[in-house]
Every structure is written in C-alpha cells, then in structure tokens.
Amino acid sequence: MNIVLLGPPGAGKGTQATRLAARLKLTHVATGDMLRYEVANGTELGRLAKTYMDRGDLVPDDVIVGMIKARLGDGGLLLDGFPRTVVQAEALDTALDEAGQNLDRAIYLAVDRDELIERLSGRAVCSKCQRSYNLKSAPPAKDMVCDACGGGVVVREDDKPSAIRNRMAVYEKQTAPVLDYYRNGGRLTEMNGMGTPGEVQDRLLAAAGA
C-alpha cells in the first residue's frame, strides 16, 4: 500500500503520519525531515535546500523527486510532505508505475486557517536531535533546552511570522492544485483534521481503509 498524506503547513501531517505508518506497517517518508537532516549535516544538498527552506519556499522538484525514487524499494510508503506540486504528483505516478506499483489513496487533512497559524507560531525543534515541541502547549521542561538530549531548542526560520505567511501563500498557489489532481483521478479522501490527535488518527485509519 502507498498513501500520500496532504495538508497545509501546521495541519499535523508529521505527527499523524508517524502514528499511521506504525499502525499500517508502512515506511514513513517525510521529505521535510530528510531535507533538514541534510541541512544539519552541511551536505551539498543541505546547503542548497537551506536557501529555499529559510524563505519558506519549495525545494526544486528534481531534488525531491530523486530522493523519493530512491525509497520506492522499501515496501509500502506513507509519503508526508510530498507531492507539493502537480509536477511532483505526476512524477510520483510515473515513478510508481515504473516500479510496478501504484498510489492507493491521497488523504487530505483539512484545518481552519486561524488554527494553522496558531499551531505554527508555537512550534520549535531541538537543534541537535530534531525533537519537536510546541512552546505554548508542550514546551520543554527547561526553557529552550531539549528534554531528550539537552540540545538547544530553537524556532526554525520557516516557522517565524514572515516565513509562515509566505508558506501559506506558496501552499495556496502551488500545492492546493494537487488536491484537484487527485480529486479528478478519484483518489482523494478529504477529512476533518481538527480535534485531538486521537480523534484525527481514528478518522485517518478509517480513510485508509484500516
């Protein structure tokens, strides 16, 4: 089974994808995490990606598509954060077809815009181990110090106000058309992404046919 999990920035895709992948025994592929790993390790790809990520812009399609193709041999995938453009969606279909696979369904998490901005403005991450926090609802026990490894907790550049606004604009312009791509192909399931994590997970399991 291959599933795409879609939703705007702050919809909770990362949290829900981790849980859903474990329940369905799928490989969780989070393009954002892979890119941030490259940035943290100062690789050539990471340095290139950082110039886009810091502005809240999308990393070029050829970089992302290449990363995904390399993972198609890992068994069933749950893709989180990809595709973000129709070009990427078409490239994914081509790559799956070449691998003798297909996309079973695309699931869209719908969340109110005001809620999205509230969630994003409180996000922070450990600069060392990448553990996520919400400075408003689930901050680290010690101010800006990671509970897990003692590293410094920081607000990512793409979660600062100016970048949040840009990310929303980028999403609406470039990513929302992906919904039409999957909707027109009869592969899109839209669901309410509001509520507790447990409530959203139950809806996701139903949407995935589990």
Domain membership of residue 180 (yes or no) is yes
Overall number of domains in the chain:
1
Domain membership of residue 81 (yes or no) is yes
Domain containing 76 equals 3-111+160-207
* Catalytic residue selected from 105, 156, 183, 187: 156
Catalytic residue check, 123: yes
Domain membership of residue 63 (yes or no) is yes
* Catalytic residue selected from 36, 50, 119, 123: 123
Identify whether the C-beta of residue 109 lies closer than 8 Å to the C-beta of residue 13.
yes
Domain membership of residue 123 (yes or no) is no
Domain membership of residue 137 (yes or no) is no
Adjacency order of strands within the sheet including 153-154: 132-134, 123-126, 153-154
Domain membership of residue 106 (yes or no) is yes
Catalytic residue check, 156: yes
CATH code, domain carrying 38: 3.40.50.300
Per-residue model confidence as pLDDT tens for the chain (210 residues): 899 999 988 888 888 998 999 999 998 888 877 787 778 888 777 888 888 888 878 788 777 777 777 777 767 899 997 898 898 899 999 989 988 899 999 999 998 888 888 788 888 999 999 888 988 888 999 999 999 999 999 988 878 877 888 888 888 888 889 999 999 999 999 999 998 889 999 999 999 886
Catalytic residue check, 167: yes
Catalytic residue check, 13: yes
* Catalytic residue selected from 36, 50, 119, 167: 167
* Catalytic residue selected from 36, 84, 119, 203: 84
Per-residue confidence (pLDDT) for residue 138, from 0 to 100: 87
- Sequence-distant (≥ 6) Cβ neighbours of residue 197 within 8 angstroms: 12, 15, 16, 19
Round to whole Å and give the CA distance between 82 and 5. Answer: 8
Domain membership of residue 133 (yes or no) is no
Domain membership of residue 201 (yes or no) is yes
* Catalytic residue selected from 13, 36, 50, 119: 13
